[in-house]
Amino acid sequence: MRRLLLLGPLVVILLAAIALGAGYFYVTDRYESAGPLSETRSVVLARGGGARAIAAQLAKEGVIENERFFLLGLWLGGEGGALKAGEYEFPSGISAEGVVAKLSKGETVIRRMTFAEGLTSAEIVAQLEASSSFTGEITVAAEEGALLPETYHYGYGDPRDSILTRMRDGMAELLKELWPKRAKDLPFKTPGEAVVLASIVERETPVAAERPLVARVFLNRLKLGMPLQSDPTVIYAVSDGMGTLDRALTRDDLRTESPFNTYRVKGLPPGPIANPGRASIEAALNPGQTDALYFVADGEGGHVFAKTLDEHNKNVKRWRQRASN
């Protein structure tokens, strides 16, 4: 009888252990099994949410089947405090365990935003402000010509200031790289002056092969004391720094009183008229070789160059005839 009484607690403990073991294996099986997603889905997990809030959102989005099993799996794995917020892409059938692995490693979706060469700082700021993928107000100064236009990778919810900071740092690094490699016959005293010319070159032609020639034309004019007479500088002046007009330039525009109007003012304008890309900066620092002093559109996206005003006027006449047809 005493032996039976002693066996009673042992049986209870044994049964409890079996039940716990069965429960553990049941939970881990559910945790590791394929989830309910039938197709790939992107979910944004807000910052500041704890494990419960994340589990609730994942269940609502149909990424996991059961919040409790998800939380139990987290607890058993000791990863409850390691989940990172952000935008995630979950493949179909992903298990709760797979979800936790993604969130723990912070494998967020990497987004891209491209800023075209030749945008003004106002246009870049507007592009950032128009995107709902970023957060925060812009407080970083975006000086004209100080931002490097290219494609930037970012995560959902990154601050807008972080992109502008990277653009400023990128331009500073690029100038640090290219300035020592400049040609010897240039009139620039500072990298900033080179950026001024590069910004004009950027707005004058989209054809990469022409940029060194366009740069040399303007340098030839500077050497002779001729005004640059660049239409994009006038556009910058009359558009209050936006850099674009919804109409053609007029003769009155060319008479605009502005230090940026290179029809009225000789020399380089006081600052850049846009944010040039690498190719235009390289062209300004290592221009091509030509005696040309003029160029005009050829009607096919490029330009024709001329050394004399008489030759240039003939090119202009041909362009106008082609444009009118």
pLDDT along the chain (325 residues), means of 10: 51 45 53 84 84 90 86 70 84 90 89 97 97 94 96 94 98 98 95 98 94 97 96 94 88 94 96 97 97 89 90 88 74
pLDDT score recorded for residue 63 = 92
299: in domain: yes
- Are 91 and 39 found together in one domain? yes
pLDDT at 158: 93
First to last CA, the chain: 116
Residue 15 is predicted with a pLDDT of: 42
pLDDT given at position 20: 44
My answer on whether 284 and 190 are in the same domain is yes
Q: How many domains in the chain?
A: 3
Co-location of 256 and 157 in the same domain: no
Give yes or no for a contact between 261 and 233, defined as CB atoms under 8 angstroms apart: yes
Domain's final residue, options 57, 72, 105: 105
Cα separations in angstroms, 200 against 116, 214, 238? 15, 9, 15
Looking at the structure, tell me whether residues 68 and 137 fall in a common domain.
no
pLDDT at 11 (0 to 100): 46
pTM for the predicted model, two decimal places = 0.83
CA-to-CA distance for 196 and 318, rounded, in angstroms? 31
Domain range holding 35? Answer: 17-105
Q: At what angle do helices 121-130 and 160-178 cross, to 10 degrees?
A: 150
Q: Are residues 260 and 279 in the same domain?
A: yes
CB within 8 Å of 82: residues ≥ 6 apart: 103, 104
Asked if the structure places residue 1 within a domain, the reply is no
Q: Give the CATH number, domain containing residue 95.
A: 3.30.1490.480
Based on the domain organization, do 220 and 304 belong to the same domain? yes
Give yes or no: residues 96 and 34 share one domain: yes
Query: CA–CA separation, 73 vs 97, rounded Å?
Result: 8
In a domain, 54, yes or no: yes
Residue 16's pLDDT is 44
Residue 220: inside a domain, yes or no? yes
Domain termination site, one of 49, 78, 105: 105
**HSE-CB for 156 with a 13 A CA cutoff:** 17
Q: How far apart are CA 222 and CA 77, in angstroms?
A: 71
According to the model, what pLDDT value does residue 3 have?
Answer: 55
| Residue 52, SS3 per DSSP | helix
Q: Return the DSSP state at 30.
A: H
In the numeric block, the tokens 């653009």 are attached to: 167
The Cα–Cα gap between 66 and 60 comes to 10
Q: What is the three-state SS of 57-103?
A: HHHHCCCCCCHHHHHHHHHHHCCCCCCCCEEEEECCCCCHHHHHHHH
Phi, psi of 97 (to 5 degrees): -65, -40
Query: 237 and 138, same structural domain?
Result: no
Residue (of 196, 195, 215) closest to 205 by Cα position: 215
Residues 197 and 276 in one domain: yes
